[in-house]
Chains A and B, each alone.
Chain A
Amino acid sequence: MFSLTRQLTQNNEPDKDKDKDKKEDTRKIDNEDDKQNKNNNNSNEITIQDTNLARSKISTTNSLILHNLPSKQNNLVVNLSKNYDKTNQVQKCLIRFQSIGSVNQIQPKVYKISSNQQFSSLIVFLKKKLKIYNNNQDNNNDSSTDSQIFCYIKNTFAPSPDEIIGNLFKNFATNNELIVCYCNTVAFG
């Protein structure tokens, strides 16, 4: 029963996706272009590849409002998103990873990442680097200490996984680097 419902929803999903605004499609292409650029780049820092985890959706209520906007306002919204996507695609943030406690320090320490990525993509990257895998088949809460990694900024707080790296960088970078400390247990409770 469970797997059946899951399949059903999965089958439904592509239809839903079609309704989404076209912005996302262009973004995906941009990302691919970006990856090609990276290969040509001979910089010292390794770039963390973009994940397309952050998908956008807009509510029917909002899309109706958008649909009925006066043309001037409509143009403003369109240009705004375009400019924002452009500037953020170009920008790269430097991330320095620092281990705390008994976790291995990853090498190299500094990486580049697109500023429009969410913080969760850093956590995913770090887990891969440290070869930490989640038991996703079964959300067994007892084993979570082994499969988790806790990331902190400024040695104080764990940012929300959906925070945008560009924003964190603007607010908390030191010497043009965002320092992310990581630990396998809860630190700075």
Chain B
Amino acid sequence: MLSSTDLDVIDRIWKGTIKISVRLSPLDLNIHHHKSPVYYLTAKRNSFLPLYYDDFLKFFKPYLNFATEQTFERLKLNLWLEFEDIPIKWNYPIGLLYDYLGLDLNAHVWNLKIHFNNYPTDFLIPQIKLDFMEKFWVNQIKEACYIQHSSAKPIMSLSTVDSSSLWESVKAHDFSQFNSIFYKKILPPVSTDLKHVPVKVYLPYSSSNFILQELVEPKDPETNLKITIKDVLNKWLPDLFSKNDPNYKYAFPLIQGIIVPGNVPICELYYLMTYLDGFLHICILMNS
């Protein structure tokens, strides 16, 4: 069960936001306008970009050079965002994307560019039907559930009402609704009862394939001690995280934009800091 302190921490994490500015790509800009208007938004860290697509479209539609020929649906499926020439993966949570691509402590706003043409299929997963975000999210959370229990039964046996209400809670960013299903009906009450903790580790300074994901148990089967985040990082990235080093000498882990102390058990971190897709996404940054 989540204690009131836990709930307070989760509440603060859910309230985490990123200030984003969006400009229209010059290729899509109507010739009557010389400069793209700027759309400013305060996006939730623990959310997904496609949940903001409708807002983007409503704002930019009058400025597009071809909008009249295309339906709202077609425009939405071809929409993509870019940061410094890099197409942004819509399937990653916004907070992870920011930590991974754009973390610049001197900048107050994350500057993105929006496109409605030339969808970069080499980099991004195609957006096939309007419910693409929901479909993707459902499968991610099922994968996470399988890792948690070695079976997807808890999520597969949810009633239709509960399943749709879980997705509604994601869309509306409503923690109490999310809590009533995800924490109470899918996760075991005690974090050490997890079979494995769904964790993904990202190394942003290398190729896009550099994502680590292995099964992590909540407790060490030999010592019966809870496995800490430092233990996991030491095992997966021994060069960057040595066992004896009490501080983060060369690199540090960032979750939801927060540098996490090394001695926190990974299973407890999962309950507090998991993203909406059921994974604890850890971004590794280098000390400079």
Residues on A close to B: CB < 8 A? 1-2, 5-6, 8-9, 16, 23-24, 27, 53-62, 65-66, 68-70, 72-73, 76-77, 79-81, 84-85, 88, 116, 118, 120, 139, 141, 144, 148, 153-154, 156-162, 164, 167, 170-172, 188
Contact = CB atoms under 8 A, between A and B. Distances in A.
A148 B214 CA distance: 30
B245 interface: no
Contact of B146 (A1, A5, A154, A167): A154
Given A5-B117, A156-B146, A171-B147, A72 B129 contact: no
Contact of A167 (B129, B139, B213, B240): B213
Nearest to A118: B209
Given A54-B207, A76-B250, 14 more contacts: A6-B117, A23-B206, A23-B207, A61-B84, A65-B288, A73-B250, A139-B74, A141-B129, A157-B139, A157-B152, A159-B139, A160-B136, A161-B125, A170-B213
Contacts of A171: 147, 213-215
A141 B126 CA distance: 13
Contacts of B139: 157-160
B128 A80 contact: no
Interface stretch (B32-40, B98-106, B183-191): B98-106
A5 B118 contact: yes
A43 B207 CA distance: 30
A65 B205 contact: yes
A74 to B, nearest CB: 8
A91 B272 CA distance: 35
Interface in B249-288: 250-251, 286-288
Contacts of A5: 27, 117-118
A158 to B, nearest CB: 5
A87 to B, nearest CB: 12
Contact of A54 (B74, B118, B208, B214): B208
* Contact-residue size bin, chain B (C-beta under 8 Å from the other chain): 35 or more
A118 B251 CA distance: 27
Task: Give the secondary structure class of A's interface.
Answer: helix
A60 B147 CA distance: 35
Contact of B286 (A16, A65, A170): A65
B251 A73 contact: yes
B153 to A, nearest CB: 9
B213 A57 contact: no
Contact of B77 (A16, A57, A139, A172): A139
4 closest A-B pairs by CB: A157-B142, A56-B207, A156-B152, A167-B213
B277 to A, nearest CB: 9
A73 B103 CA distance: 18
Contacts of A68: 288
Given A16-B85, A167-B213, A57 B250 contact: no
Nearest to A65: B288
Contact of A162 (B91, B102, B143, B146): B91
Given A72-B250, A73-B251, A171-B213, A157 B146 contact: yes
A167 B250 contact: no
